[in-house]
Chain A
Amino acid sequence: MNHSLRQQTISSIVSNYLASDYDRRPYTCETGTDNTSVTYRTERSLCHMRASSFYQADDRQERLSILAYCSIRIPEQQRMEVARFLVRVNSRLFWVKLELDMDDGIVRTSVSIHLRDYPLSRTMLASMEDSALSTLDDLYPLIMNIAYGTMKAEDAYARYCELLEEALRESV
Chain B
Amino acid sequence: MNASIYPMAQSNSMPASLAQCIRTYLSDVEWSHEESARKNWIRFKARIMLDHATVTTMIRCQEETRQLSVYTHAPLYIPAEVCQEILAFVTRANYRTPARIEFDPNQGRIKFCVDAALPDSDPSLSFIGQMVQLNHDALDCFMPGILRICFGGISASEAWSEIGT
Binding site for B on A (CB under 8 A): 2, 63, 65, 80, 83-84, 86-87, 90-91, 93-95, 97-102, 110, 112-119, 121, 123-124, 127
Contact = CB atoms under 8 A, between A and B. Distances in A.
24 contacts: A63-B98, A65-B98, A83-B87, A83-B91, A84-B105, A86-B91, A90-B100, A91-B103, A91-B104, A93-B100, A94-B67, A94-B115, A95-B115, A99-B95, A100-B91, A101-B95, A112-B98, A116-B130, A118-B123, A118-B127, A121-B120, A123-B120, A124-B119, A124-B120
Contacts of A99: 91, 94-95
Interface of B: 10, 67, 69, 84, 87-88, 90-92, 94-95, 98, 100-105, 111, 115-121, 123-124, 126-127, 130-131, 134
Contacts of B103: 87, 91
Contacts of A117: 10, 124, 126-127
A118 B121 contact: yes
A102 B94 contact: no
Given A117-B126, A121-B120, A123-B119, A80 B87 contact: yes
The listed residue with most B CB atoms (<10 A of its CB), out of A63, A86, A97, is A97
Given A116-B10, A127-B117, 17 more contacts: A80-B88, A87-B91, A93-B100, A94-B67, A94-B115, A95-B67, A99-B91, A100-B95, A114-B134, A116-B124, A116-B127, A116-B130, A118-B120, A121-B120, A124-B117, A124-B118, A124-B120
Interface of A is mostly: mixed
B105 A2 contact: no
B90 A87 contact: yes
The listed residue with most A CB atoms (<10 A of its CB), out of B69, B102, B118, B126, is B102
B115 A118 contact: no
A128 B38 CA distance: 26
A97 B120 contact: no
